[in-house]
Amino acid sequence: MSTQLTPIDPPQMANSPAFAQGMVVPAGPLLFVGGQNGIDGEGKLLKGLAAQTEQALRNVKAVLAEAGTSPEHVAKLTIFLTAGVNPNEAYAASAAEWPHRTAVTVVTVTMSRPGVLVEIEAVAAIPA
């Protein structure tokens, strides 16, 4: 059985090179990555949306690796941004850390910790 995810992009919808409208995930174990933000391994919150976005994605990738999977097996990212930040800055910062097409939802919220500008969750398949 293949462990490759399949993007779903209906022809009547806009197509994006950055994200898919949906993802088919093969049957098997799934990993749900809890919200990761821009806190480094020392527990320090990085400054600025770009730095926090990059660190949050590195944290997601660390959880994926520990579970035996990788970004190309991520079906869904949910990105929570603090109200008032420029989402284009977060998108630009994510390009270096996340070059994979993934189904993505971006939501503006009030964060539970002062200074946190972004939090990212993921759902990934764990290959056999």
In the predicted model, what is the mean pLDDT of the chain? 91
Residues whose CB falls within 8 Å of the CB of residue 76, separated by 6 or more in sequence, listed in order: 23, 102, 103, 104, 105, 122, 123
Query: Is the pLDDT reported for residue 1 higher than 60?
Result: no
User: Considering only CA atoms, which of 27, 23, 33, 36 is closest in space to residue 101?
Assistant: 23
pTM to 2 decimal places: 0.86
Q: What is the pLDDT of residues 72-89, one digit of tens each?
A: 999 999 999 999 999 999
72 φ/ψ sector (left φ>0, alpha ψ -120 to 50, else beta): alpha
For residue 108, name the pLDDT band (cuts at 50, 70, 90).
very high
Query: Is the pLDDT reported for residue 70 higher than 80?
Result: yes
